[in-house]
Homo-oligomer: A and B are copies of this chain.
Amino acid sequence: MIASERMLSKLDLLVELTDKERTAVQALPFRISRQPAKADIVREGDWPSSSFIILEGFVATSKNTGEGARAITALHVPGDMPDLMSLHLPEMDCDVRAITNCVLAFVEHDQLRTLCREYPRLLHGLWKGTLIEAAVYRESVVNIGHRSALARLAHFFCEMMIRTNANQRKARAHFPLPLTQTDLADITGMSTVHVNRSLQSLRATNAISYDQGQVIIHRWEELLSMADFNPAYLHLPEEALTIGTDGHLKSLAPKGGA
């Protein structure tokens, strides 16, 4: 996939674009870079002069605790720009690592700044993207701090189901999520042993399968309720929340108004 296309389809979830704005994004000079699984892309303390958009693969932002444990603060999927914050925060406060093999497209900050200066709506879109990222963090704080191990995992799967499918035409009840149980532990703040056991309980409900890095959702409604999941915090347009039907998934419109 071409970098500008990926960036445009992400921006389409955030703002309405004119042809002129699309052309401006297409004119951005991207530098494609392939990274193997586990590669450090950016490190805490770095002062990047460019940011990247993920074309393929999974990327995590993580921080190390004093005891040497690695905490994954967020998992990023194709279309995300995990280190966009460096456009305004000069020094990185977290590591950015490739979880799987991945393909990234880098753009110089200067290019992005020029783009933002000339096309305020694109700036608006990028800002909005970072605000949604913050909303995801907010939900993470709730998830990790206030839900049981089982619910935490279920919630994570729900979120990934939506986010990895957000720019597809047809969302599928079957999607790749090639994480180790150690990754899941670092994401959810639990031990690998307990991830293993909770995963077994989760499978035992028959709501979901998770093998070989492939998630298959069998009973979406049940998974939602186990996870206490409401997709509103993802701030996706209605279309992106209406899950297509390759399996037996229905719509995801939040229930009832404010």
Contact = CB atoms under 8 A, between A and B. Distances in A.
A138 B74 contact: yes
Interface stretch (A120-128, A157-165, A171-179): A120-128
Given A45-B257, A137-B137, A144-B189, 5 more contacts: A93-B139, A93-B233, A127-B130, A137-B140, A145-B145
Total copies of this chain within the assembly: 2
A218 interface: no
A74 B258 CA distance: 21
Q: Closest 3 CB pairs between A and B?
A: A145-B189, A45-B258, A137-B137
A46 B120 contact: no
A97 B120 CA distance: 32
A127 B134 CA distance: 12
A90 to B, nearest CB: 8
A17 interface: no
Contacts of A139: 63, 93
A188 interface: yes
A232 interface: yes
Nearest to A226: B66
B141 A144 contact: yes
B235 A65 contact: no
Interface in A61-92: 61, 63, 65-67, 69, 71, 73-74, 85, 88-89, 91
